[in-house]
Structure 1
Amino acid sequence: MLKLNRIHHVAVICSNYEVSKDFYVRVLGLTVLNEIYREERDSYKLDLAVGGEYQIELFSFPNPPARINNPEARGLRHLAFEVDDVEASVIEVQAKGVQVEPVRIDPITGKAYTFFQDPDGLPIELYEK
């Protein structure tokens, strides 16, 4: 049987590299591990650390198609981050100019969670530990 140890990374393609880099580094506070420009693809690749265990790869490509919002399409639905305190995290994200949905409680787990969007409309969830 295939043995998967953990998720290694999630790859995100952005429409404006500098705007998305600022969002993931300044707003979300992720740490840059590596950044390269791949001239043959006219593409940046930015490796970001999440909690010392996971990574997000941020890519730029010329003219990527827009994300489908509604109806929801197959594939990645959203990116979720675990936080210690959703309410405190919301205050911090809002202070950086990001609109955040009201905090809700998961009826199954009883945990608080909320959503906001990255610069390209990718839903990002904060889920309480």
Structure 2
Amino acid sequence: MLKRLDHVELIPSDFERSLDFYTATLGGQLKHRYALEHPTLSEVAYISVGESAVELLHAPTARALAQDGERIGYRLMAFEVTDMVRTLTELAGKGITPSWGPVEAPAFIRAEITDPDGNAIELREWKQKP
């Protein structure tokens, strides 16, 4: 029935800043970017990141949700990495430091970073795939 997670949609507070983060900082490839004729959305950018994708939606009138504590709904997106140390070193060179971790468990190494709006992004290196 379900094959894989195709993409995650985000509405950033600053469209250009987030586009730069997901492409220049995380190494994603901009696949599509176009204007929309929609009452609340003006533009979309589709970025492939490894075997996944992030879709940024420009919504000029969107309002932020409270970020304090845990809340019901979206918590984070997770990307698998091949080498956690190398990944964190490359990100540090771009000014990105972990907001949590890295923590090593028998099956994986896990860390978290955040995008420009504070959305959590998990980085996971599998040592033993489930």
User: CA offsets per residue over residues 41-82 of structure 1, 9 Å max, x none?
Assistant: 45221011122x322111110132224322211111101100
Runs of at least 5 residues in structure 1 that lack an aligned partner in the other structure: none
User: CA offsets per residue over residues 91-122 of structure 1, 9 Å max, x none?
Assistant: 1111101121331124xx53111011100000
Contact kept in structure 2, 1:10 and 1:56, CA below 8 Å: yes
Aligned residue among 79, 85, 88 for 1:87 = 85
Q: Percent identity?
A: 33
Q: Which moved more, 1:78-87 or 1:36-45?
A: 36-45
Runs of at least 5 residues in structure 2 that lack an aligned partner in the other structure: none
Shift of 1:39: 4.4
Q: Where do 1:15-26 residues align within 5 Å?
A: 15-26=13-24
Query: What is the CA–CA distance in structure 1 between the aligned matches of 2:87 and 2:24, rounded to whole Å?
Result: 14
**Given the superposition, is the C-alpha separation of residues 34 and 81 from structure 1 closer, same or farther in structure 2, using an over 3 Å criterion?**
same
Q: Aligned letter for 1:104?
A: V
Contact kept in structure 2, 1:67 and 1:120, CA below 8 Å: no
Name the counterpart of 2:117: 120
Contact kept in structure 2, 1:17 and 1:44, CA below 8 Å: no
- Using structure 2 for the length normalisation, give the TM-score: 0.86
- Using structure 1 for the length normalisation, give the TM-score: 0.87
